[in-house]
Amino acid sequence: MTAAPNLPPAYSLVALDEVDSTNDEARRLAEAGADDGTLVWAQVQREGRGRRGSAWVSPKGNLYLSLVLRPECAAAEAVQLSFVAALAVADALSGLVPPMSEIRFKWPNDVLLNRQKVAGILIESSTTAPGRLDWLVVGIGVNVAAAPDDVSPPATSLRGEGCRPVTVVEVLEGLSRHFFVWVNRWLDDGFAPVRKAWLRQAGGKGEAITVNLPDESFTGIFADIDGRGALIVELADGARRVVTAGEVFLGGAR
């Protein structure tokens, strides 16, 4: 029998062999009243989901988890948890990857290892009137053993980047520990320290990026993120555009 993962005591584990999506299971549990800290982990997802309706291919060997949280905050602040999650992923992976590996963030919530996507984050929430959060699910997928081909941005895995053999449980334990630290920092001190740490590891800061919005695409310089997590892009004429949702490509026009 394998030992149960060693998680922060604040988290209660729901471990599943297989599920449609850990985010869907976490949502069902949240709607049924699950406590803050309920952590759904599955070996395989049949219908793993990514952002913008994309599929997240989820074979055995990678990490799929979703954490139910019930923070006392405005619904609009929920997006900040994706930066918290990215920092936790980066901290968890930094002890596992070979020396000289580069872990960077791409707005809003991709984690890149050597310029390829190694983890994705999907935040979903439910609000109560007036604009307060009822529950929030932080879904995180980490490519431990394998990454899909032919995806944009290109993906990689820990194994693909030459990490020492690492188990999914090891990544789960490290990630939940670092998430616990970062989420408490956010709860205690707000978004400022999270923003500062995220910017330190952001890819492409001060460089050209292309932003794809539903109806248009534009290129500018990645200048900053603001105090709510929105992306600030400086245009050729010096004007600044604030983007709250969109897809970013590092580098020039695309």
State the residues that interact with ligand BTN by CB under 6 A: 21-23, 45, 48-51, 54, 56, 64-66, 110, 120-122, 139-141
- Closest approach of ligand BTN to the CB of residue 116, in Å: 13
* Cβ burial, residue 36 (10 Å; 0-12/13-18/19+): middle
195: which DSSP letter? H
Cβ-proximal residues to 189 (8 Å cutoff; 6+ apart), any chain: none
| CA distances from residue 22 to 115, 138, 242 in whole angstroms, order as listed | 27, 10, 32
Closest CB 175 distance from ligand BTN, rounded Å: 11
Q: Which is nearer to ligand BTN, 51 or 254 (CB)?
A: 51
What residue ranges in 91-216 does DSSP mark as E strands? 103-106, 110-113, 116-128, 132-142, 208-212
Q: Which is nearer to ligand BTN, 62 or 210 (CB)?
A: 62
The least CB distance from residue 23 to ligand BTN, in Å, is: 4
Edge to edge, the sheet with strand 12-19 lists: 12-19, 38-45, 63-69, 132-142, 116-128, 110-113, 103-106
Nearer to ligand BTN, 128 or 152 (CB): 152
CB of 47 vs ligand BTN, minimal distance in Å: 7
How many Cβ atoms sit within 10 Å of the Cβ of residue 10?
13
Q: Which residue is nearest to ligand BTN (CB)?
A: 120
Coil/strand/helix, residue 233: strand
DSSP 161-180: GTPPP--HHHHHHHHHHHHH
Q: Least distance to ligand BTN from the beta carbon of 66, Å? A: 5
- Closest to ligand BTN by CB, 142 vs 233, is 142
| Least Å from the CB of residue 4 to ligand BTN | 20
Kindly tell me which of 6 and 54 has the beta carbon lying closer to ligand BTN: 54
Specify the residue, 54 or 244, whose C-beta has the smaller distance to ligand BTN: 54
Query: Hunting for tokens 């049924």 — which residue is that?
Result: 32
Q: Which is nearer to ligand BTN, 20 or 234 (CB)?
A: 20
Least distance (Å) between residue 95 CB and ligand BTN: 21
- CA proximity to 71, closest of 121, 114, 134, 158: 134
